[in-house]
Each structure stands twice: as C-alpha cells, then as structure tokens.
C-alpha cells in the first residue's frame, strides 16, 4: 500500500494563506503582545521596584486597569495567535533551501527565530492563563519564567519584524499583488474581510466572556473567567486563604507593634480607638481580577506620626503568615504618606474576615494585591 | 536596511536578556525541563490545533460545493470557530474546577456556563444560517451547484497538472 504523500506548501487551497492576511493579523497580535508586555513590565516593577523608578501612588486604580488589560490582552492573544499560525501554516511545509548558500542560511535563521517566537508565545499564554486559575502543573517557577519568556518573545518579535519588513511595507503601501491560484471566495465563502471579521469576533468573544473578573459590570457574563465578583467572604474574592497562609486563629491578647523612633504596642481595642479613616479602594490582583471595597482603619501616616517618624518614611510590613514570598512587604514613602493608605481593620462595614487579613491588613492605592499584606502584626520604619 | 539591522540587533539583545534572566533565576531542574514544555507548546499548536482548524475548514468548504452551500458556509465556519475557541479557553476551567484549595477561584458552575455559551453561539449561528439562506433565495446571483462543481473540478485539474519546474 502506498502511503499518501506528505503535504507541501501548495497543498493548502485557501487564498487566505496569504502574506497580506498574515500582516494584518500580525499587526493585531503584535498590538496585543505590546500591551501585554508593557502592562506586565509595570506589574513586575511594582513587585520588584528598581531604585531609579519611583512608582506613584495615584491614580488609585491604575494597577487595576493595567493588570486587567494585561490578562485581557493575553487572553485575546490566544485566538489571534491561532489565526496567525493558521494563515502562515503552509510555510511550515516549505522546502528547506538546498544547496547551502547565504540565502539558505538566512532562511534557516529566520525559521529558527520563528520557532523561538511561536514556542515562547504559546507557552507564555498557556502558563499565564493557568496562573489565573492558580494551577501550576509545570516544573519551573511561574513568575521568573513568565518574565524571562516575555523578553525572549519581544526580542524574537523584533527579529521577525526586521525579517518581514519588506512585506509589511508592501502591505501598507498597497503594492499590487499576484493573484494566487486558489479557491475563489465564491466557493470558499470566506473573503479576507470576512476572515478579519471572524477573527476579530473570536477575540471580542473571549474578551467579553472573561473581562468581567476585572470589570464587575460584566461579571454575570464572565463565563470564561476564573473569578466572579462578589464571591468570597464579605463579598470579595481571596487570593491566599488564611488556611494556606497558616493563620488559623488570632489570640485575644494579639498586639500590633510599630517600631520607629519610638516603639508602640497596641491592642486591637486601642487601634480601634485611634482616629479611623475610610478608603474606597480595589483589591487588584496580579491574576487580573479586581474588585472595589470600602475599607476603614488607621492611616499609616497617622501611625508614623504617633511613633515620631516623618510622614515620608519607608515602612516594612510584617505579616503573621508562615512562609510564602509575601510574608513581608515594603511600603515606599509615597505610599506610606498617601492619605488613602490604611492599616485596615474593617471591610464593607464589618470587621475583617480572617481570609481578608483579620485583625489588620494594609490597603493602599495603585498596588498589586500581593503587596496589600494581610494579618499584619508589625510595622518597621526603615528610613 | 539600517532599520532592519537595528531592529534585528535590538531583538537579539532583548532575547539574550531574557535567556540571561532565565539562566539566573530558574534552577537547573526547571531549565532542563523548560525546552520540553516549549516543544510541547509548538506541537500542540502546529500539529493539533492548527491542523484541526485546517481540516475543519477543508471539510466545510467541501460541503459548500452543494447547491447554494457557499452562501451559508461563512456562518457555519464562524460558528464552528467560535465554539472551538471558547471551548479551548474553557477546557482548563472545566478540568480544574473544584480541585484547588481556594473556593473563590473558579466559583462558577463552569460546565453549565460552558454549555450555555456554546448553545448561545450555536443558536446565533442557526439564526445567521437562515438569514443567509433567505437572502440567498432572494438574490439574483447565478451561482449554482453546476458552476461551483465546475470550479472545484477545474481547480483540482490545475493542481494535478504537472508543473514545469
């Protein structure tokens, strides 16, 4: 029995496997990648701030917007990447150039850069999406790998654009093209415009059905989102539960300490007797979900004043949680001085639930949720 | 040419920066296994997801060679694509639901919601199909099964013809 011949570049009859189609979809995918990269970089710098970069505490909801965009752009990049791969799929079966020549070497390098780009982007989107589910089935650390792959993707993308620049320019200048020998739209029923509409519709569909975890107004239809607004203790989702943090209960003789020029030790009652302030701020998580809450507690800058420290002081926040990357965090001076930044004791009119950080937690504007440290029992003025 | 060289040079530098970050922040155990996952991602895309789409597209286009099929093929293809992409995104949600330690992650009934979503897409597709069929019935374009069949056969002849290369 004769085996069927393997496909070649000519085996795909649709006229939509065309460089111009690839250029247009590539432009959309490139835009999603750039938005995803820049917002991801911002999130990385929020958690790992270099000394030369002051991150402002306002606008208060900036991180909510950027991280929501990060996850949204990553999610809609899934159909865009598949559409792009579909468009250029015949190229996978193109013959390798032979005999060896300078042209052959260039082709091989171009293919290698595409292999890097496709593999890194596909894996980046996959692990990024699974991270929003808190699911980590791979044998490497998520955060470090996600960050490093992002640079590799952007690098490979620039190389890819450099290689394809003549085609991209031709598309923009609308140079006359050769009509391909393929099925006409009268039969295939799909024109380029139709394909673009379909792909844009697919991206919009996955976007609309998942963005509700960041924009609560669309929460009811966010059927593809791993989070649902209003679900959780006190109507707010939780990222790390008290159980996972090893905080199972809080003693009645719990005391809060602030160490500055003077060291103060206060019981929960004494904290509640201090002037209380209110902040309406969102918890905006690195996984993309966010939801607003009404917080009540003591301003950090009031606590700094009480212990004799200047309002613009850097503060180390120490939690009772056991282990984990975020058992301590640091409040830069602009966040500590912001009147919206609280040592929160109450949420939505009730005492904090244990999962939300009872008896006290940090809530600050424009900060990732992982840095809104829960179960706080100590503040240390650093400088 | 200068722009292309500049872009390529910047790209190589950024890529190397990423490789450096990987090498300095991921342990050997992870670094050894990462290429397997990268390769797996390419296999999943290029040897499963895209071939599946190409095959489905080919079957649908074959189907479109029946009388007036080409008028409604767009609706059918779009519906299949939307069902496919939403199911792909929903798959991890369905697989992971109820397995994590945090009840506020994946709190919906994802099986019910996924079925509802697919039913909505299919219902919208059926409405689109009938609208397209009706407008086809009113149209005066002369595309008939005979015309479509001739075009198919013609294309196959062209592709079978020996090439002078």
CA dihedral A119, A121, A126, A127 (to 10 degrees): 100
The residue behind tokens 């992971």 is B96
Name the pairing type of β-strands A376-381 and A277-284. Answer: unpaired
Cβ-in-10-Å burial (0-12, 13-18, 19+) of B27 comes to exposed
pLDDT digits (tens, 9 = 90+) for A246-294: 998 888 889 999 999 999 999 999 999 999 999 999 999 999 999 999 9
First to last CA, chain B: 32
CB pairs under 8 A between A and B: 241
The C-alpha R_g of chain A, in whole angstroms, comes to 26
Distance (Å) from the alpha carbon of A42 to chain B's nearest alpha carbon: 16
Nearest CA to A225 among A136, A132, A134, A135?
Answer: A132
**Secondary structure (H, E, C), A148-176:** HHHHHHHHHHHHHHHHHHHHHHHHHHCCC
Are A38 and A346 a contacting pair, CB within 8 Å? no
- Mean per-residue pLDDT, A307-328: 90
Which of B3, B40, B44, B50 is the mutation pick for testing A, counting most A CBs within 10 A? B50
- Parse chain B into domains and list their residue ranges: 69-157
pLDDT given for residue B139 in this prediction: 53
Q: How far is residue A372's CA from residue A345's CA, in Å, rounded to a whole number?
A: 13
With a cut of 60, say whether residue A307 has pLDDT above it. yes
Nearest CA to A46 among A332, A376, A342, A337?
Answer: A332
Biggest alpha carbon–alpha carbon distance for chain A: 89
pLDDT digits (tens, 9 = 90+) for A191-220: 888 899 999 999 999 999 999 999 989 999
The residue behind tokens 């013959």 is A95
**Secondary structure (H, E, C), chain A:** CCCCCCCCHHHCCECCCCHHHHHHHHHHHHHHHHHHHHHHHHHHHHHCCCCCCCCCCCCCCHHHHHHHHHHHHHHHHHHHHHHHHHHCHHHHHCCCCCCCCHHHHHHHHHHHHHHHHHHHHHHHHHHHHHHHCCCCCCCCCHHHHHHHHHHHHHHHHHHHHHHHHHHHHHHHHCCCCCCCCCECHHHHCCCHHHHHHHHHHHHHHHHHCCHHHCCHHHHHHCCCCCCCCCCCHHHCCCCCCHHHHCCCCCCCCCEEEEECCCEEEEEHHHHHHCCCEEEEEEEECCCCCEEEEEEEEEEHHHHHHHCCCCCCCCEEEEECCCCCCCCEEEECHHHHHCCCCEEEEEECCEECCHHHCCCCEEECCCCEHHHCCCCEEEEEECC
Which chain A residues have a beta carbon less than 8 Å from that of B19? 148, 152
Give residue B106's pLDDT band: very low, low, confident or very high (50, 70, 90). Answer: very high
pLDDT digits (tens, 9 = 90+) for B142-155: 444 455 555 555 55
Are A368 and A329 a contacting pair, CB within 8 Å? no
With a cut of 60, say whether residue A314 has pLDDT above it. yes
**Token digits for A52?**
């030369």
- Mean per-residue pLDDT, A322-346: 92
- Mean per-residue pLDDT, B51-66: 84
Chain A: residue whose CA lies nearest to B52: A86
Q: Compare A139 and A327 and report the one with higher pLDDT.
A: A139
pLDDT digits (tens, 9 = 90+) for A240-258: 999 999 998 888 889 999 9
Which chain B residues have a beta carbon less than 8 Å from that of A226? 93, 105-106
With a cut of 80, say whether residue A190 has pLDDT above it. no
Q: How far is residue A295's CA from residue A303's CA, in Å, rounded to a whole number?
A: 17
With a cut of 60, say whether residue B160 has pLDDT above it. no
pLDDT given for residue B165 in this prediction: 34
- Mean per-residue pLDDT, A43-70: 94
Q: Please count the other Cβ atoms lying within 10 Å of the Cβ belonging to residue A97.
A: 13
Lowest mean pLDDT among A268-277, B58-67, B110-119: B58-67
Q: Which domains does chain A have, with CATH numbers?
A: 9-221 (1.20.950), 237-381 (3.90.420.10)
Chain A: residue whose CA lies nearest to B25: A144
Half-sphere exposure of B32 (CA within 13 A, CB side): 3
pLDDT given for residue B162 in this prediction: 45
CA angle B53, B56, B62 (to 5 degrees): 140
Which chain A residues have a beta carbon less than 8 Å from that of B118? none
pLDDT given for residue B29 in this prediction: 95
Chain A: residue whose CA lies nearest to B49: A82
């Amino acid at each position: 029995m004769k085996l069927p011949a393997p496909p070649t570049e000519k085996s795909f009859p649709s006229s939509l496997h065309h460089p111009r189609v690839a250029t247009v979809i590539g432009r959309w995918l490139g835009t999603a990648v750039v938005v995803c990269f820049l917002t991801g970089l911002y999130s990385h710098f929020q958690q790992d701030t270099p000394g030369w970069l002051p991150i402002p505490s306002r606008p208060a909801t900036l991180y909510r917007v950027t991280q929501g965009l990060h996850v949204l752009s990553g999610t809609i990049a899934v159909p865009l990447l598949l559409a792009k791969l579909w468009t250029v799929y015949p190229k996978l079966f193109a013959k390798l150039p032979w005999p060896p020549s300078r042209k052959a070497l260039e082709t091989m390098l171009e293919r290698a850069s595409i292999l890097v780009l496709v593999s890194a982007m596909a894996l980046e989107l996959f692990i990024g999406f699974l991270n929003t589910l808190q699911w980590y089935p791979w044998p490497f650390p998520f955060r470090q790998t996600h960050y490093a792959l992002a640079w590799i993707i952007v690098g490979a993308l620039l190389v890819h654009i450099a290689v394809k620049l003549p085609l991209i320019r031709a598309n923009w200048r609308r140079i006359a093209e050769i009509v391909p020998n393929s099925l006409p739209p009268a039969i295939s029923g799909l024109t380029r415009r139709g394909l673009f509409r379909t792909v844009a519709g697919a991206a919009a569909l996955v976007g609309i059905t998942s963005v509700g975890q960041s924009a609560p107004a669309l929460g009811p239809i966010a059927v593809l989102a791993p989070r649902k607004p209003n679900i959780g203790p006190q109507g707010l989702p939780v990222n790390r539960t008290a159980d996972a943090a090893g905080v199972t209960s809080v003693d009645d003789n719990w005391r809060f300490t602030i160490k500055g020029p003077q060291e103060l030790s206060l019981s929960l009652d004494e904290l509640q007797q201090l002037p209380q302030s209110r902040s309406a701020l969102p918890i905006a998580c690195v996984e993309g979900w966010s939801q607003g809450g009404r917080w009540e507690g003591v301003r950090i800058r009031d606590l700094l004043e009480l212990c004799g420290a200047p309002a613009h002081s850097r503060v180390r926040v120490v939690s009772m949680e056991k282990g984990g990357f975020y058992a301590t965090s640091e409040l830069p001076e602009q966040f500590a001085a912001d009147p919206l930044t609280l040592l929160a004791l109450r949420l939505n009119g009730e005492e904090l639930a244990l999962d939300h950080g009872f008896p006290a937690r940090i809530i600050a504007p424009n900060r990732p949720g992982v840095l809104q440290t829960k179960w706080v029992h100590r503040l240390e003025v650093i400088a | 040419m200068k722009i292309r060289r500049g872009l390529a040079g910047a790209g190589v530098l950024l890529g190397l920066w990423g490789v450096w970050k990987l090498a300095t922040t991921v342990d050997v155990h992870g670094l050894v296994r990462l290429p397997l996952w990268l390769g797996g991602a390419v296999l999943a895309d290029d040897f499963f997801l895209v071939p599946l789409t190409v095959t489905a597209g080919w079957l649908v286009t074959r189907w479109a060679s029946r009388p007036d099929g080409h008028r409604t093929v767009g609706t059918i293809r779009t519906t299949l694509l939307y069902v496919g992409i939403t199911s792909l995104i929903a798959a991890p949600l369905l697989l992971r639901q109820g397995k994590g330690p945090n009840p506020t992650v994946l709190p919906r009934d994802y099986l019910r919601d996924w079925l509802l979503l697919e039913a909505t897409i299919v219902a919208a597709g059926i409405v689109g199909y009938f609208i397209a069929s009706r407008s086809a019935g009113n149209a005066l374009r002369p595309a008939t099964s005979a015309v479509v069949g001739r075009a198919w056969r013609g294309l196959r002849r062209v592709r079978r013809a020996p090439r002078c290369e």
